[in-house]
Amino acid sequence: MLGFNEKCKSLLSAMTEELISSSEIEGVLLNPNSVRSSIARRLGIEDDGLLIEDHYVEGLVDVMLDAVRNCQEPLTEERLFDWHAALFPFGRSGMHRITVADWRKGEEPMQVVSGAFGHEKVHYEAPPSDAVPAEMERLIGWCNTANQSPFIMAAVAHLWFVTIHPFDDGNGRISRTLADMLLARLDEDSARYYSMSAEINRNKKAYYEVLERTQSSTKSLCTDKNDKTAKNGGLDITEWMLWFFGCLENAIVRASGIIERTLQKAAYWDEFRDVDINERQRKVVNRLWDGFEGKLTSSKWAKICSCSQDTALRDINDLIAKGMLRNSGEGGRSANYLLPE
C-alpha cells in the first residue's frame, strides 16, 4: 500500500496532470508549476516546487476540487455557471467577449469547425441557443436522478453536454469536469490517482473523430421529438461508449504503473535510508526513479549536476560500491548506469 507521503505525491501528480491536460486538449497551455503549487496548497500537501500564484489557475483548481470533493452534491444550473465563470474570469475567450456564467445567446449557429478562413469544415452544429435551457434542464435532471453505473453516466453525460454545447466556450473542459464528478462517485474518498483527460490528450485526434461520428448520428439527442423535419440519425452511441471505457481503462492501467513505480522508489529509499550520500547523488537517483529519458552516462551526470567529469565518476562509483547503482555492462564510451534490479 502507498504510505501517506507517497499517496499525497501521487494524488498531487494525478490532479496536476488532469488539469493541465484538460486545458491542453483545447489549446490552452497552463504553467505546470503554478498548477502543482495551487493544488498542493489547497490539499495541504508540502511540495518542493516554487510557490507560484496565478488567479486564473486558482479558479480552475477550485472547479476541479468542487467536482471531485463534492461529487455527491446535486448538479445545478448555478453550479455549472460557477464553473464557467472560473474558466473565463475576464469575460473573454482570447480577444472575443463571450457570455459568461449563462447559457449562450443569439441566433448565430454554434458550430464546431476546423480549417483555414474561407475553407472551414463544419464538424458539428449544436442546437439553437433558444433550445439550450430546456436541453440543459433535461441533462441536469438526468444527472441527479438516473440510477445507473457512474461509468455509464460519466460517458453519457460527457457526450450529452458537448452535444448541447451550452456555453460560448469551455464546453469541452466542463464536459470532462462533469464526467470526473460522476466517476468520483465510485470512489470511497475524493482521491483520484488516474487522469482521464491526460489519456484523452494522448489520443486527441481519435477523441475528436469519435465525437464527430457519434454526434452526426445522434441529432435526436437534442431535437424536438415532435419536429417531423428533424434529421434524426438515431441514438446509437455504442462507439463512443466503447471508446470512453477503453480510454478510462488505459488511464487506470497507466496510473497503476506509476503507483507501482512510486512504491518501488519508496522501498529503495527506505532500504538505503542510513546510507550517507551527497545532494548531487540524491538528485540524479531521484531523476532515474522519476522517468529519466535515455541512458545515464558520466557526461550527463556532470551536466545535470554542473560538476566535472571526475566528480561525476566519483559520485557514480561511490553509489555502485554502496549498491545504489549498477553498471549496465556496456564499456567504453557506451558505459551507462542503472538502478539496481
At 38 the pLDDT is: 92
At 334 the pLDDT is: 83
At 231 the pLDDT is: 41
Q: Quick one: CA dihedral 174, 124, 197, 18, positive or negative? A: negative
Task: Indicate the angle between helix axes 4-25 and 32-43, nearest 10 degrees.
Answer: 130
CATH 1.10.10.10 is the classification of domain 278-338: yes
Q: Which cell numbers in the block locate residue 218?
A: 445522434
Q: Quick one: CA dihedral 286, 290, 296, 299, positive or negative? A: negative
List per-residue pLDDT tens for the chain, 341 residues long.
Answer: 556 677 788 888 999 999 999 999 999 999 999 999 999 988 888 776 656 678 899 999 999 999 999 999 999 999 999 999 999 999 999 899 999 999 999 998 888 787 777 777 888 889 999 999 999 999 999 999 999 999 999 999 999 999 999 999 999 999 999 999 999 998 766 677 899 999 999 999 999 999 999 988 765 455 554 444 334 445 789 999 999 999 999 999 999 998 899 899 999 999 999 999 999 999 999 999 988 889 999 999 999 999 999 999 999 999 999 999 999 988 887 899 999 98
C-alpha distances (whole Å) from 64 to each of 51, 60, 93, 191 are 20, 6, 20, 12
| Distance (Å, whole) CA 157 – CA 142 | 9
Portions of the chain given CATH number 1.10.10.10: 278-338
At 325 the pLDDT is: 98
DSSP structural state of residue 90: T
**Distance, CA of 89 to chain centre:** 21
DSSP structural state of residue 296: B
At 223 the pLDDT is: 53
At 233 the pLDDT is: 47
At 306 the pLDDT is: 97
| Distance (Å, whole) CA 329 – CA 341 | 13
Q: Which cell numbers in the block locate residue 34?
A: 503554478
Residue bearing cell 441557443 = 129
- Closest by CA to 161, choosing from 211, 97, 209, is 211
Q: Answer for the pair 309, 316: CB distance below 8 angstroms, yes or no.
A: no
**Which run of H or of E encompasses 122?**
strand 121-125
Residue 194, φ and ψ in degrees, nearest 5: -125, 160
Portions of the chain given CATH number 1.10.3290.10: 4-260
Q: Assign domain 4-260 one CATH number from 3.40.50.10490, 1.10.940.10, 1.25.40.10, 1.10.3290.10.
A: 1.10.3290.10
Q: Give the chain's end-to-end CA distance (angstroms, integer).
A: 21
pTM over 0.75: yes
- Closest by CA to 142, choosing from 126, 129, 157, is 157
Q: Quick one: CA dihedral 174, 176, 177, 182, positive or negative? A: positive
Residue bearing cell 476540487 = 65
At 232 the pLDDT is: 41
At 51 the pLDDT is: 61
